[in-house]
Amino acid sequence: MQKLPIEREIESILMEIEEGASMREGLTETPARVAKAMAHWFSGYNVDIAAMMKVFEDGAEDYDEMVIVKDIPIYSKCEHHMADIFGTATIAYIPNGKIVGLSKLSRLADAYSRRLQVQERLTSQIANAIVKHLDPLGVGVIIKARHMCMESRGICQQGHHTITSALRGVLKDDRNARAEFMALASC
């Protein structure tokens, strides 16, 4: 069976790391496994966000309060070192006549997470996609994550969390709506 180009590259990297790596039994299938894992880790590039964010007007006609989904697991790779980023996202929006299936908020976070990222961009991409596809009165996104590029290399300190937020519409401009979101997000 012919190896994919990425498998040949992974094999070359292994040979640089460990002399004789191609002959060691435990590493013979590693290039194929890494290629498969990378296809999964970076699958967010293949997601059609517009198609995924199907909206409904039925159910939203008289609803003007916050919809919030908390503690959505996110797994990403930093674009600087390809090291793991993992944590949770909290996503809220106030409908303006349209809602989206609740699982779509988790799927949206996952789609953008499965790209090479910095946490700041990831947070904004999620918020901007909700604004674009739902046209809500307001949007709030908070991501709390750990970065293995800080924990396993560089400063080598474990347990740090980076928290980013993106606020749009009334969740940014209205003090009471913002306070409600922040209170619900920290519950």
Which residues have a catalytic role annotated? Answer: 78-81, 119, 147, 149
The Cα 43–Cα 80 span in angstroms is 18
DSSP alpha helix (H) spans, 42-141: 49-52, 102-113, 119-134
| Closest C-alpha among 138, 59, 49 to residue 98 | 59
Look up residue 62 and give its two tokens: 């008289």
Strand segments (E) across 51-184: 55-56, 67-78, 84-94, 99-100, 116-117, 138-147, 162-169
CB-based contact 185:67 (threshold 8 Å): no
Tokens of 158: 């474990």
Asked if 106 and 52 count as a contact pair (C-beta separation under 8 A), the reply is no
